[in-house]
């Protein structure tokens, strides 16, 4: 993957970025995303934030290679500390990290016009964070790549109320029910049915865990109906 050709996952993230946005890509690694957005003239300013020196050097090298040093500012910083008021950032992207880490990073910062989040895990935690911090989800996407599915969530300031079902399955994703989304939950259903089989065969019998897994299975079956 290079700045000029993104993975399917990062291409889906790029798709969600508003035209002309001033973007902070937090945890940018190689800065492929902001470089791609500039190459495609979707944006003309970004901050690429990185907490680790190696990835920060990768980002700087990619930015220099493209001659974008004046338009993509690479900063070594923890989370949103990479953003300075003079940057006038309106859109924050946090992709390729766990949902709990994404929520912690967001906890520490001010509000932004647009958040584009791509948690690798704990998507429900991210949705709950958004609900609790007066953001509303305005779009979701899901892509499959390398035997993994990745969910993307776009949010703007505003109130929303999410049910437990919305948090788990995604308010938009569960409405649209794309093939990728269905395959993810069919796979999860399969996994939970295997777990239930093991639990039922085990001694001593853990009635509480069996009941919990049966309830989880019923929830997934219901949503896949």
| Binding positions for ligand SAM, rule: CB under 6 A | 10, 26-29, 49-52, 55, 78-79, 95-97, 101, 105
Minimum separation from the CB atom of position 93 to ligand SAM (A): 7
Minimum separation from the CB atom of position 33 to ligand SAM (A): 7
Measure the CA–CA gap between 225 and 220, rounded to whole angstroms. Answer: 9
Minimum separation from the CB atom of position 81 to ligand SAM (A): 8
Which residue's CB is nearer to ligand SAM, number 58 or number 213? 58
Strand order across the beta sheet in which 72-76 lies: 72-76, 45-50, 22-26, 91-97, 114-119, 148-157, 135-145
Which residue's CB is nearer to ligand SAM, number 78 or number 175? 78
Minimum separation from the CB atom of position 202 to ligand SAM (A): 36
Which residue's CB is nearer to ligand SAM, number 46 or number 162? 46
Q: Pairing state of beta strands 114-119 and 135-145?
A: unpaired
Which residue's CB is nearer to ligand SAM, number 32 or number 185? 32
Cβ-based neighbours of 197, under 8 Å, separated by 6 or more:
none
Which residue's CB is nearer to ligand SAM, number 94 or number 220? 94
| Cβ contact 112:92 at 8 Å | yes
Which of 223, 1, 191 shows the shortest CA–CA distance to 95?
Answer: 1
Minimum separation from the CB atom of position 147 to ligand SAM (A): 16
Cβ–Cβ contacts within 10 Å for residue 200, how many?
Answer: 12
């Amino acid at each position: 993957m290079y700045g000029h050709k993104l993975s399917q996952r990062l291409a889906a993230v790029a798709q969600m970025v508003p035209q002309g946005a001033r973007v902070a890509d937090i945890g940018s690694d190689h800065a492929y995303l902001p470089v791609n957005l500039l190459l495609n003239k979707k944006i003309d300013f970004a901050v690429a934030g990185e907490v680790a020196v190696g990835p920060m050097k990768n980002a700087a090298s990619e930015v220099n290679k493209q001659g974008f040093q004046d338009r993509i500012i690479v900063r070594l910083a923890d989370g949103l500390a990479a953003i300075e008021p003079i940057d006038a950032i309106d859109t924050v992207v946090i992709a390729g990290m766990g949902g709990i880490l994404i929520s912690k990073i967001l906890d520490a910062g001010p509000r932004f016009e647009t958040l584009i989040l791509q948690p690798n895990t704990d998507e429900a935690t991210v949705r709950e964070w958004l609900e609790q911090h007066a953001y509303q989800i305005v779009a979701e996407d899901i892509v499959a790549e390398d035997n993994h599915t990745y969910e993307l969530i776009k949010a703007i300031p505003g109130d929303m109320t999410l049910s437990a079902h919305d948090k788990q399955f995604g308010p938009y994703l569960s409405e649209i029910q794309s093939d990728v989304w269905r395959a993810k939950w069919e796979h999860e259903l399969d996994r939970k049915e295997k777990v239930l089989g093991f639990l039922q065969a085990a001694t001593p019998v853990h009635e509480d865990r069996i009941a919990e897994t049966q309830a989880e299975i019923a929830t997934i079956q219901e949503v896949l109906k």
